[in-house]
Amino acid sequence: MSEAPRLLFVEGLNKSYGGVHAVRNVSFSVAPGEILALIGPNGAGKTTCFNMLNGQTPADSGRVVLRGQDISGKQPREVWRLGVGRTFQITATYASMTVRENVQVALISFQSKLYSMLNATQRFASDEADRLLGLVGMEGYAARPCGELAYGDLKRLELALALANDPKLLLMDEPTAGMAPRERVELMRMTAQIAREKEIGVLFTEHDMDVVFEHADRIIVLNRGSIISEGSPDQVRNDPQVKAVYLGDGLVFGQHAEAHA
């Protein structure tokens, strides 16, 4: 591999659930500021990979190295403290709080004020919270109850939460699923901009190939747990093996090819 500085280095990850080999010997790396897409049909093992990266799921074998430090086997909260932010495929936010309060909780944790009991949260880092909401285009939503948000807005809120610890690496599992096409492009444009500015490495999964080809610097294709292709968008687009997988799975490429034709 090249000598470029590596932010994340993953080597030989494996995970089985009973008889299902969900992830098979997966290795890759992410450079700072790089936007890497992990694609593959449903059930390919993308979410399982994410879960092993941030400690949600213990790997059967393999190593995860973040900025030179082996983080295999650490708890999600420890991985977070090392600078990894994450969004979930099925959103996980605090439904009983307002949008701003959601972000405030992340900031409270980041500033290690979790056990502060006699101050009011209302004023705690509310400017910083609003700034983060501004980054994802949600400044107008700060006082809205989170339980009332539409799904696309929840996804944006998740991004703001993931950015609260000034991460070095962002893990985004289907960040635009359930969004309208225009929202998708907008969200990924925002993400790309933030990533470039702050040199954040981004690893994301996505079904919309327009989004993937427009924003990813590099693409990894996963099928049945194994990496079947890796390279620049053009390389991957023209890989016959990839075409075969996607043609078998429901023509995600085909639709767009026709639309563009």
Ligand X SMILES: Nc1ncnc2c1ncn2[C@@H]1O[C@H](COP(=O)(O)OP(=O)(O)O)[C@@H](O)[C@H]1O
Instruction: Please report, as ranges, the residues that interact with Mg ion according to CB under 5 A.
Output: 46-47, 89
Does residue 48 interact with ligand X by CB under 6 A?
A: yes
Q: DSSP assignment of the chain, as one string?
A: ---S--SEEEEEEEEEETTEEEEEEEEEEE-TT-EEEEE-STTSSHHHHHHHHTTSS--SEEEEEETTEE-TT--HHHHHHTTEEEE-SS----TTSBHHHHHHHHHHHHTT-TT--SS-STTTTHHHHHHHHHHTT-GGGTTSBGGG--HHHHHHHHHHHHHTT--SEEEEESTTTTS-HHHHHHHHHHHHHHHHHHT-EEEEE-S-HHHHHHH-SEEEEEETTEEEEEE-HHHHHT-HHHHHHHHHHT-HHHHHHHHH-
Residue 145 near which of Mg ion, another protein, ligand X, none (CB within 5-8 Å, type-dependent): another protein
Nearer to ligand X, 40 or 85 (CB): 40
Q: Is 102 in the site for ligand X (CB under 6 A)?
A: no
Stretch in the footprint of another protein (CB under 8 A) among 62-70, 96-104, 192-200, 212-220: 96-104
Residue 165 touching another protein (CB under 8 A) = yes
The residues in 18-37 that bind ligand X, with binding defined as CB under 6 A, are 20, 22
148 makes contact with another protein (CB under 8 A):
yes
Which range, of 44-52, 111-119, 148-156, 185-193, touches ligand X by CB under 6 A?
A: 44-52
227 phi, psi to nearest 5 deg: -80, 125
Q: Which is nearer to ligand X, 36 or 44 (CB)?
A: 44
- Using the minimum distance from each CB to another protein, give the nearer residue, 178 or 231: 178
| By the rule CB under 8 A, 174 interacts with another protein | yes
Q: Interface with ligand X by CB under 6 A: which residues?
A: 17, 20, 22, 40, 42-48
Binding site for another protein (CB under 8 A): 42, 54, 56, 75-77, 80-81, 86, 88-98, 101, 104-106, 108-110, 113-122, 124, 144-151, 154, 161, 164-165, 174, 177-178, 207
